[in-house]
Amino acid sequence: MTVPAIELHDVTRRYDDGPPALHDTTLSVAPGEAVAILGPSGSGKSTLLNLIAGLDRPSGGTVTVDGVRVDKLNETGSARYRRAKIGMVFQFFNLLDDLTVIDNVVLPAQLSGVTRSAARLRAAELLDALGVARHAAAYPGRLSGGERQRVAVARALMNRPTLLLADEPTGALDTASGEEVKRLFNDLHADGQTIVLVTHDLPLAESCATRTIRLVDGRVVADDVRAVTTGRGR
């Protein structure tokens, strides 16, 4: 029997005295799946993603990723877990403005102790594969939104993560750049990358995800497995 890539069991996340942001959520994601988390603002999508990434801890329940009990990890353990198993892509890229593109990309590997020269080889491959190799020495501020998101994806893939998490990856992009990113995610999924993406972008979910989970007020209200409608772009 295959170990689930992600397994949440009765997970609740409550902030202060308010209603829970996530309520008794139980779900499982198999390796290689591309899951889109959908839902209106405040439905708990980002909370769910943060819990899976080990950026936050549940108030109750268990979060297991690739056999690791994420909810049990301390800060150092969480950091090491993210380095080893998680790649993250953010809506606003979260690239470090003072570092060049390649220095941004090699950063997760360097934090893991990989030498700069070894990390640069892998980063060059990724940048080349993602079509932004010519910008390696540039600073992120000079790149277009689509290019920045490609750099962010390259950084996320740097340590060959088990799981790629994306939070509104097209949210800050124009249509053309959004399409680029969409194709990129399709390619990654086709290569077997497990992906969880949080999005408002229904077309993105429809084109990239094999499964959509809809959240409303912190509860899973729909969980549909479906076929990808868009083929590989490249």
Partner 1 sequence: MSAMGRVVRSGVARRRVQTVVIALATMMAVTASVLGGSLLAASSGPFDRAFAQQHGAHLTAQFDAARTTAARLMASAGATGVIAAAGPFPTATAAPRDVAAEFDLPPMTIVGRTTPDGEVDHVSLSQGRWVNGPGQIVLSADYPVGPSPLDTDLRFPDLPGQPTLTVVGVARSVGRTADAWASPSDVAALTAPDATGGYQMLYRFAEASTAAHVERGQAAVLALVGSPALLGAQSWLTIKDASEREVALFLPFLVAFGALGLVMSVLVVGTVIAGAVGTATRRIGVLKAIGFTPVQAVRAYVAQALIPATVGIAAGVVAGNLLAIPVLADTDQLYGTTTTGVTWWIDAVVVAGALGMVALTAWAAALRAGRLRTVDAIAVGRTPRPGRGRWAARLTARLPLPRSVSLGLAHPFARPARAAAVLAAIMFGATTVTFAVGVAASLNRVQIAKDHAAADVVIDTFAPPRGTGPAPNTAPRALSADDTAKVTTAIQAQPGTAEYYRVATTQVAVAGMTGFARLDAFTGDASWGGYEMISGRWFTRPGEVTVPSTFLTATGTRIGDSVVLTDHGKAVPVRIVGEVLHPTNNLLVFADAATFAATKPNLTAASYHIRLADGVDVSEYLTGLNSALATSGFTAASEQSTGGSSTIVLLDALAALLTLMLVAVAAMGVLNMVVLDTRERVRDLGIHKALGMTPLQTIAMVIASVLVTGLAGGAIGVTAGVAVHRAVTPAMGDAAGTKLPTSVIDVYQPTMLLLLGLGGLLIAVAGAFLPAGWAARTRTAVALRTE
What are the C-alpha distances in Å from 107 to residues 1, 122, 142? Answer: 35, 12, 19
Which helix (H) or strand (E) segment holds residue 36: the answer is strand 34-38
Could you give the 3-state DSSP secondary structure of residue 163? strand
Please report whether residue 144 would count as binding partner 1 according to CB under 8 A: no
Please report whether residue 50 would count as binding partner 1 according to CB under 8 A: yes
Interface residue with partner 1 among 82, 150, 211, 214 (CB under 8 A) is 82
What are the beta bridge partners of residue 60? 12
Interface residue with partner 1 among 1, 76, 192, 227 (CB under 8 A) is 76
Please report whether residue 139 would count as binding partner 1 according to CB under 8 A: yes
Q: Using the minimum distance from each CB to partner 1, give the nearer residue, 116 or 160.
A: 116
What span, in angstroms and rounded, lies between the C-alpha atoms of 38 and 45? 7
Contacts of 180 (CB under 8 A, 6+ apart): 146, 149, 150
Q: How far is the CB of 222 from partner 1 (least distance, A)?
A: 25
Please report whether residue 124 would count as binding partner 1 according to CB under 8 A: no
Interface residue with partner 1 among 5, 29, 34, 53 (CB under 8 A) is 53
Please report whether residue 97 would count as binding partner 1 according to CB under 8 A: yes
Please report whether residue 155 would count as binding partner 1 according to CB under 8 A: yes
Which helix (H) or strand (E) segment holds residue 13: the answer is strand 6-13
Span 100-119, contacts to partner 1 by CB under 8 A: 100, 103, 107-108, 110-113, 116
Quickly list H helices, the chain: 45-53, 75-85, 101-111, 116-129, 145-157, 175-190, 202-208
Please report whether residue 200 would count as binding partner 1 according to CB under 8 A: no
Q: Which residues form the interface with partner 1 (CB under 8 A)?
A: 50, 53, 55-56, 75-76, 78-80, 82-84, 88, 90, 94-100, 103, 107-108, 110-113, 116, 139, 141, 155, 159
